[in-house]
Amino acid sequence: MKKIAALPLNKQRDTTCPKVFGVSLLELQQQGLSKNGIPIVVWNIVEYLTQHGMTQEGLFRVNGSMKMVEQLRLQYERGEEVELVKDGDVYSAASLLKLFLRELPDGIITSALHPKFIQLYQDTRNDMQKESNLKELLKELPDAHYCLLKYLCQFLIKVAEHHVENRMNLCNLATVFGPN
């Protein structure tokens, strides 16, 4: 069961800053909150985790401190400079990334294309045909979604390369990120 709590009035978000969580990828691009098609918050977290979290056991499975995740989220929402090395830790940064992805209004794989991806997965044709169909289907994603998906896949492959230390092989990563 999710806990729902209102922030005290003095801690509620500043409406002059553009929202970062819970907005579309296109909106983030239009607000200048993306770098090379990647939301800055995602880019910051991935860079931090690449440098500091690749060998952390349970990366993406161990939850970070809810308090710290919320503090980091608020810093991003207020447009503040966030230094994850100083202000966060590996597990909280990983939890923040999952939160960002979970709150995307249409997900990385858009709701319109989601059934097509499921159908392709369930398709019994040969792998060469599936690969060709997957490439065609990926071309249908909006640019911002494709860029983020590609970036995350490249990062998660790097995470999986350290599976002996972090215990996060491709199957475990799919279990964590699939729903998002």
Torsions phi, psi of 137, nearest 5? -65, -40
CA–CA separation, 14 and 127 (whole Å): 50
Q: Look at residue 54 and tell me whether its pLDDT is greater than 80.
A: yes
Q: Average pLDDT for residues 137-142, to the nearest whole number?
A: 97
- Token readout for 33 is 């909150």
CA–CA separation, 57 and 19 (whole Å): 32
User: What is the pLDDT at residue 48?
Assistant: 98
pTM of the full structure: 0.88
Nearest to 39 by CA among 125, 92, 103, 133: 103
Please check whether residue 145 is in contact with residue 114, taking contact to mean a CB–CB distance below 8 angstroms.
no
pLDDT band at 16 (very low <50, low <70, confident <90, very high): low
User: What is the pLDDT at residue 179?
Assistant: 84
CA–CA separation, 112 and 137 (whole Å): 11
Q: How far apart, in Å, do the first and last CA atoms of the chain sit?
A: 18
User: What angle, rounded to 10 degrees, do the helices at 90-102 and 40-52 form?
Assistant: 150
Q: How far is CA 101 from the centre of its chain?
A: 4
CA–CA separation, 95 and 102 (whole Å): 10
Q: Given the structure tokens 């289907």, which residue do they identify?
A: 137
